[in-house]
Amino acid sequence: MMDNENLNSAISLLRKLISIQSFSGEENLRSDFLTKYFNKRGISVESIANNLVVKQKGFDKDKNTLMLNSHLDTVKPSSSYSFDPFNPQLSDTRVNGLGSNDAGASVVSMIETFLHFYNNELPFNLILVLTTEEENSGPDGMRRAWNILKEQVSYAIIGEPTGMKAAVAERGLLVIDGEAKGVSGHAAREEGVNALYIALEDILKLKTIEFPDISPSMGKVKLQVTQINAGTQHNVVPDSCRFVVDIRPTDRYTNQEIMDILQPQVKSRLIARSLTNKSSATPTDHLLIKCVNTLGIDTYTSPTTSDWMRITCPAIKMGPGESARSHQADEYVMIQEIEQGINGYTELINQLAKS
């Protein structure tokens, strides 16, 4: 178990990070601060764009490597914050502020855990990777870092707010822009072909499509139409209707396979925003899962995505805080949760070292 000094250090660091604006694609100030933070402790940092890579002392390329990963970026604050999201009021029981829960608590818990093991001899290497552009799936975040790290990392813990439960699988994300085409005309004379009606027919069709191959860990593919837009004024039949489809795939279908199933079923043109946001799952017999089970950590399948979808090695997603607080106004994390995060990561690494 970590002592109060480690916990207080994590809390102090988190409050400092919150004060440094770090929207996706604008993380340079936070990255620079953390580079200096490690350098003051005599630890060198490798930068890949604004991503930070810190390796345990005595890194041995012949050993397996465990990656601790979380992200430095945040979404932009909503207008309904009741306090300054970068300079919130202090509390004895919680840390308030933008990114405190998602994923600042994981970042500082992983940093404290990494520092604890930095000089220790483990049967595997420990590497801390703090990435950027996670919230907007940008090209210079984990996608760029993984091109360099993929030959070095054997397995990973992805730090996200999960209540320190272990996500052993997570759904992917497929966002589709649909457009129905019609012919404009005067509404009073019932001219033209109404693109809105075509889109509604297609939306109803999409609602009924079943993906029969059900994943034992994730269940069914989830599909929801979440946006629709058509028309310029009340008396003109719209010649275009656009809509957005949000799909949460399982490991039974690739995103391209889902596109191939859907397009022939509808008249509208469907265009995927990205085909790379894949689902992820770690085999039940992997060492990570065995250690999680040995420690009695609750497991589940996560409905949300993370940088897990950017990597190709086995992983779990686990961190302090609660997913339901992410991206909400007046974001916070409990100090007790940060303590649980540090202790939980430490126990898991110790268990991996014994296995």
Domain boundaries, the chain: 4-170+279-354, 174-272
Q: How far apart are CA 34 and CA 40, in angstroms?
A: 10
26-70 per-position pLDDT tens digit: 999 999 999 999 999 999 999 999 999 999 999 998 999 999 999
Which strand (E) or helix (H) includes residue 39?
A: helix 28-39
Assess contact for 300 and 167: CB atoms under 8 A.
Answer: yes
pLDDT at 347: 98
Q: Which structure tokens are listed for 248? A: 């949460």
In CATH terms, the fold of domain 174-272 is Alpha-Beta Plaits (3.30.70)
Q: In the predicted model, what is the mean pLDDT of residues 290-294?
A: 98
* HSE-up (13 A, CA, CB side) for residue 257: 11
Give the mean model confidence (pLDDT) for residues 270-297. Answer: 95
pLDDT of residue 2: 63
- Average pLDDT, whole number, for the chain? 96
Check: pTM over 0.85? Answer yes or no: yes
Query: C-alpha 337: how far from its chain's center?
Result: 19
What is the reported pLDDT for 325? Answer: 93
**Topology (CATH level 3) of domain 4-170+279-354:** Aminopeptidase (3.40.630)
Q: Does residue 142 contact residue 51 with C-beta atoms inside 8 Å?
A: yes
- Pairing outcome for strands 315-317 and 155-158: parallel
What pLDDT shows up at residue 1? 61
Could you tell me what percent of the chain has a pLDDT over 70?
99
For residue range 136-180, list pLDDT tens digits in order: 989 999 999 999 999 999 999 999 999 999 999 999 999 999 999
Decide: residue 19, CB within 10 A, 0-12 exposed, 13-18 middle, 19+ buried: middle
Q: Is 298 exposed, middle or buried (0-12, 13-18, 19+ CB in 10 A)?
A: exposed
